Structure 1
Amino acid sequence: MSVRLKLTLSYAGFLMLVGALLLAAVWVFLLRYVPERALIIPGSTDTHGVFPVRSSLLHVFAPRAAAVLAFLLVFAFVGGWILAGRMLAPLTRITDATRLATNGSLSHRIRLPGRKDEFRELADAFDAMLTRLEAHVAEQGRFAANASHELRTPLAISKTLLDVARTDPNHDTGELVDRLHAVNTRAIDLTEALLLLSRAEQRSFAREHVDLSLMAEEATETLLPLAEKHGVTVETSGDITPTTGSGALLLQLTTNLLHNAIVHNVPDRGTVWVSTGVRPKTVVLTVENTGEKLTPQLASTLTDPFQRGSERLHTAEAHAGAGLGLAIVKTITHAHEGTLTVTPRAAGGIRVTVELPATTAHGER
């Protein structure tokens, strides 16, 4: 049976029960105040001298009570069917929207009118889910297109180099091998970055106790040669910052932030500040650097995949990257129930703040 029919039967059954109880109460009331027999009215021809009042009353009351119950039954079915239809109308709209979403139409919204009730809350939650899902699908589509373009670039360069070498036997083989090695390394780095991004998005990692300050120290030691090569000074400070998550992913997050701050800095005289801190319920990792001045609008797009800023163009330099550094940071942060904030510094450069849930010494959040 449909839900509407079930509700109709429920309404009808309840109304019939109430009607039967009401008629039973009337009958009990009549039995209480009406005598079983009465004296014969003077002039009557009844020879027994009494009149059976209750018996006569039952003959009169019973058919009328049955008629009332029959009317209540018809009224309950018709009224219950109409009321059930009106009550389930919002659910029908939600079902239709669900079917459209199943068929791939994510732009449809229910926008249920009326006062806020359970159905209105369900419809609003469904609309919010569709909005997020539509944005996610669009973002995934852009990401797939960008990834395809990024992967096609090194492959096209490799093909061009090989075509040149094949048509020119006198071409310097050593130079060709070096350039192919650089292009191949870039393609491998991009593929590994995409795999890491996918792993972080799926949250397929074991959680453990992690100290962000130790992650910052390890990343600084690892990238210190790169900082010296670019003439960048790295300054670290802060407190012990306990949290839970994947040590490998959080180390990758810290490394990406520090690498990004070093390579996109002022040449030969830049500075990177790495600090950690503890707040009442969160721990904070902040990485900021000197560099070119950025607008707030541009800074807000740096965490999008394949964004390299205003002058971060495709080059053969090792630090050109795949444009996934901050995108990976953003994904890892969200996978750890944290927040990421990117703001431009007034003097130039950016400030990136990662805030994650804090844990106590016993591992409690």
Structure 2
Amino acid sequence: MTSSPSSILDFPRRYCPTCDRIVTKDFRPGPGGRPDASCPRCRSLERHRFFAILLSVLSPLLDDVDLLLEVSPSPQTTPLLGRLGARTHLKLDLGADNRRVDVLGSLTDVPLADDSVDLLVCYHVLEHIPDDLAAMREIARVLAPDGLGILQVPFRPGTVTDEDPSAGEEERLRRFGQADHVRYYGDDFEDRLASCGLAIQRITPRSLLGEEMSTWVRAEPDEMVWLVRPATGAAVPEPLVVTSTALTRTFDAMLGEITRLQGEVLQARGRLERVRAERDRLRGAVAAPGAPAPAATPASGARRVVRRVRAMRGRSRGRAD
């Protein structure tokens, strides 16, 4: 079967690891109009796509999870966590809204026993909680000694945490980016976690995937995720501190070449579309009844002069004969 020109040029633009699909167009705008952020299939954002990859990397450590606690579940993270096969998957939030929540409660007072959670996921939650230190202490309390927490918060490197739980809605929007946020974390975020009894390991898409792969899945290369464990328990997994491994360099080289070829294909598509448009225009000009004759050009005027000269020569020969 012969492919049509359009299908040949439908070059992959993005890969979404959340729904495991290759997308031939740019992603849709995200919150606040952020360009190329939201997968058109599953609506995942940058953080969800890196979370999907991170879970895949962590899977050897998560093959025997008894209790998984997902704080503030989302339509993107819950299915990914469901694939882990945890024997118990609890979803905790203050309200159910339109989500399926198993436990109504606050992260500042988790109704679970000490050392009972094997995996805790807390994505973009702590910035909503006025007493975030109480929430961090609860994370340290409920995590098993060899349990693992995966945390992410809005974070500005090179600053200190800006917070004000008493700020009004407009002030929160201006300072923290959302009306229901009470802070924007800075470099002291890790000190806060440590003061609450947590050992920390940070990881970014760039360190795990490389620049090109991060771009292809549309993950923010330097957006941090924190892996935590109780400070008195097992060490946070060291193998996840990936710098520039041979695998990362290979991915970068491969996707760099794909990106270059993609640019060439898109340029070719643009040229083809311009040729098609010109062809259609010419067809319309020829086929249209009563269409005005094409405007004279220097070349057509020269041809008329040549024809006249030839005709005059012919008449001259006739008279001579």
**Pair in the same fold by TM > 0.5:** no
| Rg (Cα) greater in structure | 1
- TM-score with structure 1 length normalisation? 0.20
> Relative to total residues, which structure has the larger helix share, 1 or 2?
1
